[in-house]
Amino acid sequence: MNFDAITVTPYMGNDSVTPYLKYDGKWVIILALTSSIGSKDFQYLPTEDGHLYETVIKKANTWAGADRLMYVVGATKSTEFTEIRKYAPDNFLLVPGVGAQGGSLQDVCQYGITKDCGLLVNSSRGIIYAGSGEDFADAARAEALKLQKEMQVELEKSGII
């Protein structure tokens, strides 16, 4: 298939993740800490290594390096990014939840941006629900451009561009 990345759940262990790492030039994105309210059900459970999401990141880092693994970290968990960056300093983070789900782009960047940016910010709901009438395409485009401009400001503030 012609895609660049796949998102997987790590909870069945390395034998369910590592087969995807065999594809050169492709990324595996592992669920770590999601924006959903239900993330508290499991992702924050205490383990010997901290919260379960921290254990997931630490263990997955033994399967491949930052050049192959990304992690999903929800934008509503922006204050956790500082802790996550201790375990995944060079990994890209796929960050859903900016906008309609309540995540702040500014907070995500403040706590999660790296010297190379390190963030793939997603705002699906904010864009797809920007309009519901005949103007949908224009409203969605306007919302996407607004987010792009906000990201450019954050990149300039951080000195990346």
Spatial separation of the C-alpha atoms in residues 140 and 32, rounded to whole Å: 29
Q: Encoding tokens for residue 68?
A: 């192959």
**What are the beta bridge partners of residue 31?**
72
Residues contacting residue 125 through CB under 8 Å, at least 6 positions apart: 99, 100, 101
Nearest to 150 by CA among 121, 128, 130, 124: 121
The pLDDT tens digits for 129-143 are 999 899 999 999 999
Residue 145 pLDDT class (50, 70, 90 cuts)? very high
Give the H or E element holding residue 138: helix 136-158
The pLDDT tens digits for 28-48 are 999 999 988 899 999 999 999
Q: Tell me what pLDDT residue 100 has.
A: 76
Predicted TM-score of the model (pTM): 0.92
The yes-or-no verdict on residue 69 having pLDDT over 80 is yes
The pLDDT tens digits for 70-81 are 999 999 998 899
Eight-state DSSP code of residue 91: S
Collapse the DSSP code of 3 into the 3-class scheme (helix H, G, I; strand E, B; otherwise coil) and give the result: coil
Nearest to 69 by CA among 14, 2, 151, 148: 14
